[in-house]
Structure 1
Amino acid sequence: MKAILKYKSSYYFPILLFFLSLLLGVSSCSTTKYVGEDEYLLNKVIVKTDDRSVPTSDLKKNIKQKSNLKILGTWRFHLGLYNLSGKDKSKGFNRWLRRIGEEPVIYEDFQTKRSVAQLQLYMKKKGYYNAVIKDSVAFKKKKAKVYYTITANEPYRYRKLYHQLDELPYNFLSPSQKLSEMSDSTLVRGFVNEDKKDTKLKQGKKVDSDVLGEERMRIFKMLKNQGYFNFSREYIHFMMDSTKKDHQMDVFVGLKKPLNEKATKKYRINKVKILTEYDPKLILMNDSIYLSELDTLVHKNVEFIYRNKLKIKPDVILSSILIKKGDLYNLNSVSQSYSRLQQLNQFKFVNINFDEDTKANDDEYGNLNCVIQLSPHNLQFYSFELEGTNSSGNIGFAGNLNYQHKNLFGGAEVLDVQLSTARENVKSSEQTNFSSSEYGIVSKLSIPKFLLPFFDAEKFRKSYNPRTIFSLSYNFQKRPDYTRTIADASFGYFWKSSKYLQHTFNLIELNFVDVKDLSEDFLNDIDNLYIQNSFTDHVIATTRYSVTYNDQNINLPRNYNYLRLSAEVAGNTLKTIDNILGRSKRNDYDSEGNLEGTYHDFLGIRYAQYVKGDIEYRFNQYINRANNMVYRVFFGIGYPYGNLEVLPFEKSYFSGGANGIRAWQARSLGPGSYVDEGATYPNNTADLKIEANLEYRFKLFWALEGALFLDAGNIWAISKKDDRKGADFKFDRFYEEIALGTGFGTRVDLNFILFRLDLGLKLRDPSRVGNERWIIAKRPFKFNQLTFNIGIGYPF
């Protein structure tokens, strides 16, 4: 009884009791509760094929009737919610359960036949013209299991590819078909023939209608980029012949003669007009006041039509537009102009129209007038935010006052200023809490140019549309164990080299850190001299570069990859300047007044010197609309040297917390097998970090989601001056010091924000000895062994 009362006193108990009751209730319901007498619940759909080159996942997309959603591959949670409802649909609770649940899927023979036909069509699209699809159904206890067995047989492959009429074998085309084709002498046919080296149709590859569609789109875009404004995809077609070719096909890339001769005529840009304050509502109303206030400015052969005053410098707008007077029409230039104008962050609406100029007298080329319509955002924006916070598992609140000016100096410069205050309760290793307060201001100025002295960045700007970013910030932190002030100034660049690849290069970042009022308890906890040095006043002057690849499409649920590489170096520039100027070093004394060494300073403060690099990879596997699997690996290492032979505290690695290994509190894990049982404040940091995470995410009901996770990793020291026992990284033992934790999480996804609660449980603790490290089955379970983490957003 005492044990039960003890568990009830835990704040975990109501949460766990609710979910346990819910899960037991859902699982206890019969899955066939609402299946009629002569009906069968579609229990499972199995698709088998004898050709492994055809993905089963793609085949399943063609199945017309799928079984109810499952969690963990077996548990029909959503069907269980539906079955919890009573038969009286008039009751609100029953209607709510049916709305958030999923109605049972009743087997239909008609849908099975449709699926067979769809699978047959899909196999033909992929080149398997002789594929055989058979279906069978097994009925048992009001449940049906459907099998689709596919015998693929030998696929058809491309043998020869033809791009010109005079290359074709005799009788490949009928006389009427030849008459409907563009002749080999046309410029359009010539461009397609010259471009055949980039074709997606390759000899020996399987015939694939999707690839044919991609080839049609490639040819269409190529011709559009050559100036053929009126050319249509409908003119591109493919003729194939497989007669007596033993599962092979010859393919002719056909180009039909267009009915309209303008389709084969190139077009040049005649005029460019830009409406910088376009209001579609007032235009449609033919508002006389609005139209009377419009004025025109001609700048670099471009007409700017504006209202009262041109708010953005013309050169800034022109730098984002690749459509120039006298150039041939180019589809890529139009697409890139759309993207660049939107990235200026000045316009809520961008539209580019082309009208044929019939008055122009040019027999060789057609002429287009380009009209670009821009509807501006409001220039200034204010907001106030009050939110709960989670900093590595420590709970608190924060208030932010935000101000943004989108066009500070008339050149699309975006100024962001944020005033912030925060307070949080921080857990110590003794499960006691203490308060931490924080105040700060951050200002950032983003300029749509690549500002770099003595360097002509015009070509780079046109290719990558970079931004130059200046940043200033000040932050004051007050804790019972110490007070810290951080001032930061940075200057750098941001650009995208492709759709998925973005770069950040901070040319210089100065970080001033002032640490005061270190408590005696805190100093006693970190009696290691190496760690104490990381809490001294210091300056960090870094150059940092990072590149990120992210192919996620938020509008299309599918697998995606995320890869981030970053590197930074600190102190070398200041060190070089000191050596050139021959500046003398300062003496460094310990707390007892003994000389420890010498160092250089910057503005009277010792500066750090180190190199550091990180790599992080994530893979999100989309299973279905209710299930996702996420994998993450991280490796980071920092090496201090020279002027400050420790990594500064804010640049060191730590583990544990809501975004790491969630079975441990933030900064309480490691390094290695090091144990500091007397420490009151968890502040374990080190120079190297290895971490891996596996998380299975599933949707429950409404905005509620669930997750099961497994985390592994640790941190280690690589500096020989760090003498913490068991903290150093050794190749022959580091794998024995990997911590392992698991747990269960819930999320509430409100679209604009996601709240997260994770309960972590230790499986393997590297701070223990030998066989005692596997602790999951070697101690009685208690609720206080769970580590409670609250977060905003997904952990990764």
Structure 2
Amino acid sequence: MGAVSCSTTKYVGDKEYLLSKVSVKVDDKNISSSELNQNIKQKPNIKILGVWKFHLGLYNLSGKNKKKGINKWLRRIGEEPVIYEDYQTQRAKVQLEIYLRKKGYYNAVIEDTVIFRRKKAKLKFNIIAGTPYKYRNVYDEESDLPRNFLSPYQKSKEISDTSLLRYYLVADSVNRDIKPGQNVDSDNLGKERDRISKLIKNQGYYNFSKEYIHFMMDSMGKDHQMDVFVGIKKPQSLNVERKYRIRSIVVNTDYNPKSELMNDSSYISKLDTLTYDNCQFIYNKKLNIKPDVILNSLGFQPGSLYNLSNVEASYTKLQALSQYKFVNIRFEVDAEAENQPEGSLNCIIQLTAHKKQAYTIEVEGTNTSGNIGFAGKLHYQHRNLLQGAEILDISLSNATETVKSSSKGNFFSREYGGEVSLSTPKFMLPFFNANRFKRKYNPKTRLSMAYDYQKRPDYTRTQADISFGYNWKSSRYLSHSLSLMELSFVDVKNLSDDFLKNINNLYIANSFTEHVISTTRYTLTYNNQNLNKPSNYNYLRLSFETAGNALKTVDQLMGSKKNEDYNDAGELEGTYYDLLGIRYAQYVKMDVDYRYNWHLNKVNTIVGRLFLGLGYAYGNLEVLPFEKSYFSGGANGIRAWQVRSLGPGSFSNDQAAYPNNTADLKLEGNLEYRFKLIWALEGALFVDAGNIWAVSSKDGRAGAEFEMNRFYKEIAVGTGIGARVDLNFILFRLDLGLKLRDPSLPVDQRWIIGNRPFNFSQLTYNIGIGYPF
């Protein structure tokens, strides 16, 4: 490809120029450069790493014969050279001017410069923004307007200040999107129109629309300021100023669009009706869902005033039932009430159900803590088990994974398991009445049971779980999960001699003994990703859990007898309570995981991640169970280290046959640049940094404990390159990591570069499924 980069103008004509660069410079920092660039449609060929026009190079590899197979293929996967066109420059100037006027810069000056050299053109836009116009006063009532602001004709077209529509507008003025002192911005005016329209529709005005809302502005003699009047046009129809109530609700639970459109008599003859709670249900042969489930998902009922927000919330709740592939809510005006003070609406809800049961057999790649493998899974789902939109999931799995060993070669880990879960749209909370919460957030209750058996050369582990909790969404981007009770029984046996050699005190050993975990966990997730349109987005997950406190309180209240804990020397090291003869863990734990995705263009993306986690064990088991502890390294962590081989702190454990380093605190940051190449092939460059540390002073590993005056000296740093194959349904990933800074080395030798020559044995490869974050 090096030769390709020297022939970027191969298919540029004699009197043509390759557009090599477009830049925009503006003298006002308040103007978004990215939004300015979006108004320039003529853009140079895409670059990788900011310099390499890889896709143009592929196109230029093709020969002159367009019909030849290889040439046709190269041109299809490559990118045609972008030729500079003057009319596109003039078009861009017009679009930039329109954008700047929309943002209040009415006197902006736009200058363009084109530099031609060696068959290439560089286009520069220089924008002198000038002083923006700002809102001075915003008026909601005609009576507050300065004299002669409106002409007599204009006044005649406005609704009066005494109108209820004007009253609702004035009463909610605190939530306006336009305020004095802001730049004049037509986008904000559009938001304000939408806000007012929804506000009025929420008061029952079914026939009102945003076309009745307009803005009148006056900047005469106001020195780059504007007074704004929020106007509402006088409707020509009385129905616009009439409130509407919902008279009836008809729910078709077996809606067939094709049969309805064709007026299929056979389909219609099979329909039956049921009246429940003043609502009518239409169904085919049998009503397969309880009417309460539908009605509880509606934000309105017969007799309710029309409210647009409640209708939108009803859409969301009906779709969240996961019962229907098609949901439609429409309203028809009841002609019989046209002469009444209030209008009437008949609501028709059309629902087309998913298939009730599904069976799937899956063969999939797995990636557990960076260990690659394959698994087979048998999955059964019933979407409406008890006719209350309950979703039953049953799965059986069998997996084999290759686990890396530092000295004895890779080995296989085998795992068998099964899980049964039941999710219901009801909010089952013992001893509490939470009707208001249920209506607002539509939570789901989930009960699950699982069993897992794992066999490794260093130990055998079995785990049985039962959990009960809730999921709900409080907004479009904000979701919540509360695991009210999660009980896990963990048994670890057959620890190998090599593994036991690395456990040098009872504190570490206790994390690998059989134990019970009784957990309550809350997780808050914010994710504003738009799956339909690639763009920048944030992801934030906060998680807090506590374990063992309730069990210990019960034991103390009941006066339960404590068990005694002795070390290898026969000395008493502590006492503890048990549950069914098994010691239970007691700890608190909190995680923060933040990610930001920069969508640069259709082939370039930068993703950053920051993770902070802390667990503190106390009381009944003063060490975190190993499955709740933190580890680093591997395909989803600091990729220059094998999974579980880094840390804690400056602790070194290179002699361990099976790396399994864990600790109580984890700090990690990652930055990855991703770029698309050809077909499904993608590339990546990354930098990872972080480590894990012990919090307890009882951890006897040298250099493992977290200390404020030295932890930053124990940050590990790795870099590397990666390749991905994205097949849409699965993404295969290979990352090659290289250590840059190793905290296990002496302080003056931790930076690898300059301290030892490079050789390929220093590379760590990680195979993964899906992106690392």
**TM > 0.5 between the two?**
yes
User: Alignment partner for residue 451 of structure 1, among 428, 441, 452?
Assistant: 428
Counterpart AA for 1:286 = N
Residues 110-166 of structure 1: per-residue CA shift (max 9 Å, x gap): 111111111111111111111111111111111111111111111111111122222
Aligned residue number for residue 6 of structure 1? none
Aligned residue number for residue 149 of structure 1? 126
Structure 1 CA distance for aligned equivalents of residues 173 and 40 of structure 2: 37
Aligned residue number for residue 360 of structure 1? 337
For the pair 1:313 / 2:298, whether they are aligned, the reply is no
Counterpart AA for 1:736 = K
The residue correspondences of 1:370-769 to structure 2 (distance < 5 A) are 370-430=347-407, 432-590=409-567, 595-769=572-746
Residues 408 and 657 in structure 2, CA contact (< 8 A), matched pair in contact too: no
Local SS of the residue matching 2:240: helix
Residues 525 and 678 in structure 1, CA contact (< 8 A), matched pair in contact too: no
User: Alignment partner for residue 36 of structure 1, among 5, 8, 13?
Assistant: 13
Aligned residue number for residue 46 of structure 2? 69
Residues 194-225 of structure 1: per-residue CA shift (max 9 Å, x gap): 22221111111111111111111111111111
Residues 528 and 724 in structure 1, CA contact (< 8 A), matched pair in contact too: no
Structure 1 CA distance for aligned equivalents of residues 662 and 582 of structure 2: 23
Residues 449 and 465 in structure 2, CA contact (< 8 A), matched pair in contact too: yes
User: Alignment partner for residue 181 of structure 1, among 146, 158, 163?
Assistant: 158
Residues 306-363 of structure 1: per-residue CA shift (max 9 Å, x gap): 1111111111111101121111111001100000000000111100010011023652
Counterpart AA for 1:602 = L
Structure 2 CA distance for aligned equivalents of residues 427 and 271 of structure 1: 65
Residues 689-714 of structure 1: per-residue CA shift (max 9 Å, x gap): 00001111112122222111100000
Structure 2 CA distance for aligned equivalents of residues 317 and 637 of structure 1: 43
Residues 348-380 of structure 1: per-residue CA shift (max 9 Å, x gap): 110001001102365211110000001111111
Structure 2 CA distance for aligned equivalents of residues 78 and 85 of structure 1: 12
Residues 109 and 127 in structure 2, CA contact (< 8 A), matched pair in contact too: yes
Residues 504 and 700 in structure 2, CA contact (< 8 A), matched pair in contact too: no
Structure 1 CA distance for aligned equivalents of residues 117 and 654 of structure 2: 60
Aligned residue number for residue 79 of structure 2? 102
Structure 1 CA distance for aligned equivalents of residues 491 and 750 of structure 2: 39
Residues 82 and 103 in structure 1, CA contact (< 8 A), matched pair in contact too: yes
For the pair 1:342 / 2:333, whether they are aligned, the reply is no
Residues 395 and 426 in structure 1, CA contact (< 8 A), matched pair in contact too: yes
The residue correspondences of 1:135-284 to structure 2 (distance < 5 A) are 135-284=112-261
Residues 393 and 788 in structure 1, CA contact (< 8 A), matched pair in contact too: no
Structure 2 CA distance for aligned equivalents of residues 112 and 183 of structure 1: 48
Counterpart AA for 1:409 = L
Structure 1 position 794, deviation (Å): 1.2
Structure 1 CA distance for aligned equivalents of residues 671 and 252 of structure 2: 51
Residues 709-739 of structure 1: per-residue CA shift (max 9 Å, x gap): 1000000111111110011111111101000
The residue correspondences of 1:279-290 to structure 2 (distance < 5 A) are 279-290=256-267
Tell me which moved more, 297-306 or 254-263.
254-263
Structure 1 CA distance for aligned equivalents of residues 126 and 559 of structure 2: 81
Between the two proteins, what is the percent identity of the paired residues?
64
Counterpart AA for 1:794 = Y
For the pair 1:351 / 2:351, whether they are aligned, the reply is no
Structure 1 CA distance for aligned equivalents of residues 124 and 67 of structure 2: 39
Residues 464 and 496 in structure 1, CA contact (< 8 A), matched pair in contact too: yes
Residues 70-112 of structure 1: per-residue CA shift (max 9 Å, x gap): 1122211111111111111111111111111111111011111
Structure 1 position 295, deviation (Å): 1.4
Local SS of the residue matching 1:323: coil
Aligned residue number for residue 761 of structure 2? 784
Counterpart AA for 2:152 = P
Counterpart AA for 2:475 = S
Structure 1 position 594, deviation (Å): 5.3
Structure 1 CA distance for aligned equivalents of residues 152 and 574 of structure 2: 94
Structure 2 CA distance for aligned equivalents of residues 237 and 360 of structure 1: 30
Using a 3 Å threshold, how does the CA distance of structure 1 residues 159 and 431 change in structure 2: closer, same or farther?
farther
Residues 100 and 702 in structure 1, CA contact (< 8 A), matched pair in contact too: yes
Aligned residue number for residue 333 of structure 1? 310
Structure 1 position 596, deviation (Å): 3.9
Residues 525 and 680 in structure 1, CA contact (< 8 A), matched pair in contact too: no
Gaps of 5+ in 2: none
Structure 1 CA distance for aligned equivalents of residues 676 and 408 of structure 2: 33
Structure 1 CA distance for aligned equivalents of residues 213 and 575 of structure 2: 75
Local SS of the residue matching 1:114: helix
Structure 1 position 477, deviation (Å): 0.5
Residues 249-273 of structure 1: per-residue CA shift (max 9 Å, x gap): 1111111122222122111101000
Structure 1 position 757, deviation (Å): 1.5
Local SS of the residue matching 2:718: strand
Structure 2 CA distance for aligned equivalents of residues 261 and 359 of structure 1: 16
Aligned residue number for residue 121 of structure 1? 98
Residues 478 and 527 in structure 2, CA contact (< 8 A), matched pair in contact too: yes
Structure 1 CA distance for aligned equivalents of residues 455 and 645 of structure 2: 20
Structure 1 position 434, deviation (Å): 1.1
Residues 626-666 of structure 1: per-residue CA shift (max 9 Å, x gap): 21111111111111111111110100000001111011110
Residues 407 and 655 in structure 2, CA contact (< 8 A), matched pair in contact too: no
Counterpart AA for 2:412 = S
Counterpart AA for 2:31 = V
Structure 1 CA distance for aligned equivalents of residues 3 and 566 of structure 2: 67
Structure 1 CA distance for aligned equivalents of residues 3 and 745 of structure 2: 40
Aligned residue number for residue 295 of structure 1? 272
Local SS of the residue matching 1:359: helix
Structure 1 CA distance for aligned equivalents of residues 71 and 163 of structure 2: 70
Structure 2 CA distance for aligned equivalents of residues 497 and 326 of structure 1: 27
Structure 2 CA distance for aligned equivalents of residues 785 and 524 of structure 1: 26
Tell me which moved more, 276-285 or 677-686.
276-285
Residues 332 and 347 in structure 2, CA contact (< 8 A), matched pair in contact too: yes
Structure 2 CA distance for aligned equivalents of residues 49 and 394 of structure 1: 50
Give the TM-score normalised by the residue count of structure 2: 0.98
Structure 1 position 285, deviation (Å): 2.8
Using a 3 Å threshold, how does the CA distance of structure 1 residues 322 and 617 change in structure 2: closer, same or farther?
same
